[in-house]
Amino acid sequence: MKKTVIVGEGIAGLTAGVYAQLNGFKSEIYEKNPVAGGQCMGWDRKGHHIDNCIHWLTGTKKGTELYKIWETLNAIGDDVEMIHNQTFYTSKLDGKSATLWRDLDKTQRELLQIAPEDAEEIHKLISHVRLAECCEMPFNKPMDMMNIFDYINMGKKMAGMFKVMKEYDKMDIEDLGNRFENPLIRKLLTDYMCKEYFASSFIISYATMTSGNGDIPLKGSLAMTNRIIKRYKELGGVLHTNKPIKKIIISHNKAEGVILNDDTVVHADYVICATDTAETFGRLMDSSYMDKKLKVCYENPNDYPVFSGLQMAFSADNNLFSDETIIFDFKPITIGNNDVTRMSLKSYHYDPSFAPEGKTVLQVNIMQRKDDFDYWKSLNKQDYKNAKQTIAEAVTDRIIECFPKLNGHIELLDCWTPLTYEKYCNSFNGAYMAFIEKKNIKIPRLKGKVNGLSNVFIASQWLQSPGGLPVAAATGKFVIQRILKKEGKSINI
DSSP characters over 336-403 = TTEEEEEEEEEE-TT-GGGS-TTEEEEEEEEEE-HHHHHHHHHS-HHHHHHHHHHHHHHHHHHHHHH-
Question: Angle, nearest 10°, between helix axes 119-132 and 199-210?
Answer: 70
Residue type, 263: D
DSSP E strands, 155-307:
214-217, 238-240, 245-250, 255-260, 265-267, 270-273
Cα–chain-centroid distance for residue 476? 15
Question: If we measure between CA atoms, which residue out of 180, 177, 184, 189 comes closest to residue 114?
Answer: 184
Evaluate whether 52 touches 43 at the Cβ level (below 8 Å). Answer: yes
Buried-exposed string 44-73: b where 16+ CB fall within 10 A, e elsewhere? eeeebbbbbbbbbbbbbbeebbbbebbebb
DSSP-based three-state secondary structure for 33: coil
Helix (H) or strand (E) holding 70: helix 65-73
SS3 7: strand
Amino acid at the residue 155: G
pLDDT at residue number 440: 85
pTM tops 0.75, yes or no:
yes
Of 19, 27, 40, 427, which Cα lies nearest the Cα of 240? 27
Cis peptide preceding 244, ω within 30 of 0: no
Q: Which among 20, 30, 451 is positioned nearest to 259, based on CA atoms?
A: 30
For residue 437, give the DSSP letter.
-
Check the CA dihedral 202-308-76-447 and report its sign.
Answer: positive
Q: Which residues contact 363 (CB under 8 A, 6 or more apart)?
A: 50, 51, 311, 312, 313, 314, 345, 346, 348
Residue partners of 362: CB distance under 8 A and separation at least 6: 313, 314, 315, 316, 321, 345, 346, 347, 348, 399, 410
How far is residue 175's CA from residue 136's CA, in Å, rounded to a whole number? 25
For residue 155, what pLDDT is reported?
86
Query: What is the structure's pLDDT at 256?
Result: 97
* Strand 214-217 with 82-83, pairing: antiparallel
Residue stretches of the chain with pLDDT short of 50: none
Distance CA 183, CA 24 (A): 57
Strand order in the sheet with 3-7: 238-240, 26-30, 3-7, 270-273, 456-458
3-state helix, strand, coil in the chain (%, to 5): 40, 25, 35
Closest CA to 443 of 307, 304, 301: 304
User: What Å distances lie between residue 79 and 66, 82, 218, 334, 352, CA to CA?
Assistant: 17, 9, 11, 46, 18
The 3-state DSSP class for residue 26 equals strand
H/E run at residue 423? helix 418-425
434 and 471 Cβ atoms separated by less than 8 Å: yes
Considering only CA atoms, give the Rg of the chain: 23
Give the separation between CA 11 and CA 9, rounded to whole angstroms. Answer: 6
Task: Please answer whether residues 486 and 28 qualify as being in contact, where contact means their C-beta atoms are separated by less than 8 angstroms.
Answer: no
146: number of Cβ within 10 Å: 15
Edge-to-edge strand list for the sheet holding 87-93: 96-101, 87-93, 325-335, 338-347, 359-368, 308-317, 410-416
Among candidates 341, 347, 331, which has minimal Cα distance to 406? 347
